[in-house]
């Protein structure tokens, strides 16, 4: 967009227009007026790098989840095996060297669990994590590592944040650098970034064992899965990414806020002179690495990955957005490896990509076309080579349209929730697609572990529908899908939908829910987005809703808690039920679940459920706003 030379990043588009923006001289554009070749190349390169890493990382994670205590690939077992075994002794999990993977049993010194014991262990573990984070926030004013002297967190806000980080949602109703001490960030939020992500991996491992085993009453040991997922998967990846981010300028220090002199002093609206600026610092890089790799998303700073100390360069931006989808995508290969049929993993990944790629390009296209209301005022917003164009409001000039749209689609597809642009400033339809990616159930990549086990619930629904169509008893990987599995799968599918729609309905009806920055359909979109984010454990926000209020802290906190654990328990129930069944032999009438036809059917089931559930609500928000915009 062509702006006057005195236009500052903090100015609004309205400020620019009143400053004297004139219609620019037309410039040549590409055949595709709404996108440029460089933008498309960046997106395609990202997808190519992501897919190329699926196999090696997926292989590595399969060896970890199906390995023996004290053993892990790439020498990690020798380096960290003593710590793993020590944790097992403390937890009473094992005293020897038995396997914890698919072939495990009570023999071999690993005490395995049935699905109910596994579920109780995970629920208690996460409840303890919630209590710890809540206590740290309430007591941070008297605890060390608080160089800024920040006070205690208000009770309802602390409740919301504790639930948020314990459930891998990382919704933030606060500004990190002015609210949380370094100790709270590291010991509370940072630790939960690891443990909540490890919980998703553990549940997925249990479900895979349920599919791979037969006539078994156990699905593994939750303490072993949590330990190995943290020590051998999340920690090593986070160390590597942290070092890479520090090399790019991401801050990592225990120094307090630093005051610097402004190059050009400013004057406030009341005439006061401002000659200095306080720059917040802190141990950010270590938390940013796990926030992306664990699909957590909680920013160290208030504006998240749009902050120059959290995401300073194009390379740091690429590494972070790659990390968002890296583990969820690679877990598809892990799944195929652990069930001894890699085609199954590729088919699930293909279904995810079949949904994600079109919605990514749709988001990009509507943002690259610009804002019709701005274009009507004579401002050229057409995307062209060599200049930042399109709808740049709320976006970093460092990243432009392509990297902003890519991040928005990736973070909402992966239940990550971090942002490098403000979704509230997207065009109505540009913001619709990231919102819908969340509403699909966070199964298009989704969270670490949680995305894949959510998609496998949709697989159960798809094979059940296919079985009805051909008149055969539905099966998946040789296991018959019976009424119990279908009921549990439907609970997993319907709980997030119910939470989102009921929560949104209540919020727009009560006065306490009316804290939107815009009236009409955009305000409705802000509320719908908030509950879509909380109800699907995403954590991103439209950035226009005042959510740090008693009503939203409690309502969104409950939404996050129920949407996380009312799904985990049914998934583990399915794992236990499937593990107890025998594998039926494959016949000519068995539905193949690795073919392009099944991939399309699975993608269609996910999209149809999302469309039937949320199109009416989307019509009241983004669709109406779009019609109002183009009708002016």
Catalogue the E-assigned strands of 426-491. 475-476, 479-480
Other CB atoms within 10 Å distance of the CB of residue 399: 22
- pLDDT given at position 14: 36
Pairing type for strands 479-480 and 258-267 reads unpaired
In DSSP terms, 277 is beta-bridged to 260
Nearest partner of 159 among 439, 568, 512, 559, judged by Cα:
559
- pLDDT given at position 497: 96
Q: What are the structure tokens assigned to 96, written together?
A: 């020897």
Mean of pLDDT values over 597-621? 94
Nearest partner of 61 among 328, 460, 243, judged by Cα:
328
Residue 94's pLDDT band, with cuts at 50, 70 and 90, is low
Q: Whose structure tokens read 């919980």?
A: 199
Catalogue the E-assigned strands of 50-110. none
Tell me the average pLDDT of the chain.
Answer: 88
- Answer yes or no: is pLDDT of 632 > 90: no
Mean of pLDDT values over 583-597? 84
The DSSP-derived string for 418-436 is --SB-GGGS-HHHHHHHHH
- pLDDT given at position 574: 97
- pLDDT given at position 55: 97
Percent of the chain scored above 90 by pLDDT?
A: 72
Mean of pLDDT values over 591-600? 92
Lowest mean pLDDT among 132-136, 259-263, 528-532, 622-626: 259-263
pLDDT, one tens digit per residue, over 384-393 is 554 567 888 8
pLDDT, one tens digit per residue, over 489-507 is 999 999 999 999 999 999 9
Residue 471's pLDDT band, with cuts at 50, 70 and 90, is confident
pLDDT, one tens digit per residue, over 40-83 is 999 999 999 999 999 999 999 999 999 888 888 989 999 999 99
In DSSP terms, 283 is beta-bridged to 252
- Answer yes or no: is pLDDT of 323 > 90: yes
pLDDT, one tens digit per residue, over 145-189 is 999 999 999 999 999 999 999 999 999 999 888 999 999 999 999
- Answer yes or no: is pLDDT of 12 > 70: no
Mean of pLDDT values over 579-595? 86
User: Which residues, other chains included, contact 527 with Cβ-Cβ below 8 Å and sequence gap of 6+?
Assistant: 504, 507, 508, 513, 516, 545
Residue 108's pLDDT band, with cuts at 50, 70 and 90, is very low
- Answer yes or no: is pLDDT of 32 > 70: no
pLDDT, one tens digit per residue, over 338-374 is 999 999 999 999 999 999 999 999 999 999 988 888 8
- pLDDT given at position 518: 87
- pLDDT given at position 470: 77
SS3 194: helix
Q: Whose structure tokens read 């948020």?
A: 164
pLDDT, one tens digit per residue, over 546-578 is 999 999 999 999 999 999 999 999 999 999 999
- Answer yes or no: is pLDDT of 5 > 80: no
Q: What are the structure tokens assigned to 64, written together?
A: 């970890």
- pLDDT given at position 97: 47
Q: What are the structure tokens assigned to 538, written together?
A: 């995403």
- pLDDT given at position 585: 81
- pLDDT given at position 26: 39
- Round to whole Å and give the CA distance between 540 and 549: 17
- pLDDT given at position 631: 76
Full-model pTM: 0.90
Mean of pLDDT values over 128-154? 95
Nearest partner of 529 among 551, 508, 510, 558, judged by Cα:
508
Pairing type for strands 258-267 and 273-279 reads antiparallel
- pLDDT given at position 35: 66
Mean of pLDDT values over 602-609? 95
- Round to whole Å and give the CA distance between 195 and 227: 9
Residue 34's pLDDT band, with cuts at 50, 70 and 90, is low
Nearest partner of 449 among 181, 200, 185, 142, judged by Cα:
200
- Round to whole Å and give the CA distance between 375 and 379: 5
Lowest mean pLDDT among 155-159, 467-471, 474-478, 600-604: 467-471
Check the CA dihedral 115-117-119-125 and report its sign. negative
Element (H, E) at 262: strand 258-267
């Amino acid at each position: 967009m062509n702006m006057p030379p005195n236009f500052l990043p903090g100015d609004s588009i309205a400020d620019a227009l009143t400053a004297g923006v004139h219609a620019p001289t037309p410039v040549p554009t590409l055949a595709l007026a709404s996108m440029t070749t460089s933008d498309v190349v960046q997106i395609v390169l990202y997808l190519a790098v992501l897919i190329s890493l699926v196999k090696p990382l997926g292989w590595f994670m399969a060896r970890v989840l199906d390995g023996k205590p004290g053993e892990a690939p790439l020498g990690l077992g020798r380096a960290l095996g003593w710590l793993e075994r020590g944790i097992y002794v403390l937890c009473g999990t094992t005293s020897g060297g038995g396997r914890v993977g698919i072939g495990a049993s009570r023999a071999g010194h690993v005490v395995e669990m049935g699905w109910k014991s596994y579920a109780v262990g995970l629920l208690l573990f996460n409840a303890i994590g919630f209590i710890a984070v809540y206590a740290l926030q309430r007591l941070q004013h008297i605890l060390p590592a608080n160089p800024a002297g920040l006070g205690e967190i208000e009770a309802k806000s602390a409740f919301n944040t504790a639930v948020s980080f314990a459930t891998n949602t990382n919704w933030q109703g606060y500004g990190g650098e002015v609210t949380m001490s370094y100790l709270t960030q590291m010991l509370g939020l940072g630790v939960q970034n690891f443990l909540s992500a490890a919980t998703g991996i553990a549940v997925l491992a249990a479900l895979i064992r349920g599919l791979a085993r037969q006539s078994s009453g156990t699905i593994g040991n939750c303490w072993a899965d949590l330990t190995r997922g943290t020590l051998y998967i999340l920690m090593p990846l986070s160390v590597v990414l942290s070092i890479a981010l520090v090399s790019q300028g991401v801050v990592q220090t225990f120094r307090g806020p630093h005051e610097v002199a402004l190059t050009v002093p400013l004057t406030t609206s009341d005439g006061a002179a401002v000659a200095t600026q306080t720059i917040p610092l802190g141990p950010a890089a270590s938390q940013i690495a796990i926030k992306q790799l664990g699909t957590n998303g909680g920013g160290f700073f208030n504006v998240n990955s749009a902050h120059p100390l959290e995401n300073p360069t194009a390379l740091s931006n690429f590494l972070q957005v790659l990390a968002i989808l890296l583990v969820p995508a690679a877990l598809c290969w892990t799944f195929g490896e652990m069930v001894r049929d890699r085609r199954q993993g590729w088919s699930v990944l293909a279904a995810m990509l079949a949904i994600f790629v079109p919605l990514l390009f749709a988001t990009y296209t509507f943002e690259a076309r610009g804002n019709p209301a701005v274009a009507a005022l004579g401002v050229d917003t057409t995307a062209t080579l060599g200049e930042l164009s399109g709808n740049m409001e709320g976006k970093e000039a460092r990243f432009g349209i392509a990297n902003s749209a890519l991040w928005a689609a990736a973070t909402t597809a992966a239940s990550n929730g971090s942002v490098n642009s403000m979704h509230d400033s997207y065009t109505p339809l540009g913001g619709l697609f990231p919102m819908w990616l969340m509403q699909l159930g966070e199964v298009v990549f989704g969270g670490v572990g949680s995305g894949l086990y959510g998609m496998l619930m949709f697989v159960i629904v798809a094979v059940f529908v296919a079985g009805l169509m051909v008149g055969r008893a539905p099966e998946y990987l040789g296991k018959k899908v019976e009424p119990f599995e279908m009921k549990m799968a439907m609970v997993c599918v319907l709980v997030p939908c119910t939470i989102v729609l009921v929560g949104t309905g209540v919020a727009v009806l009560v006065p306490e829910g009316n804290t939107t920055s815009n009236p009409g359909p955009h305000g409705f979109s802000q509320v719908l987005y908030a509950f879509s984010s909380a109800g699907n454990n995403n954590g991103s926000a439209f950035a226009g809703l005042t959510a740090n209020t008693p009503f939203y802290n409690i309502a969104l906190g409950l939404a996050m808690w129920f949407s996380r654990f009312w799904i985990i328990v049914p998934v583990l129930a399915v794992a236990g039920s499937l593990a107890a069944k025998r594998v039926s032999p494959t016949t000519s009438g068995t539905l193949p679940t690795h073919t392009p036809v099944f991939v399309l059917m699975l993608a269609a089931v996910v999209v149809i459920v999302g469309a039937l559930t949320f199109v009416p609500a989307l019509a009241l928000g983004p669709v109406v706003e779009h019609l109002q915009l183009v009708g002016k």
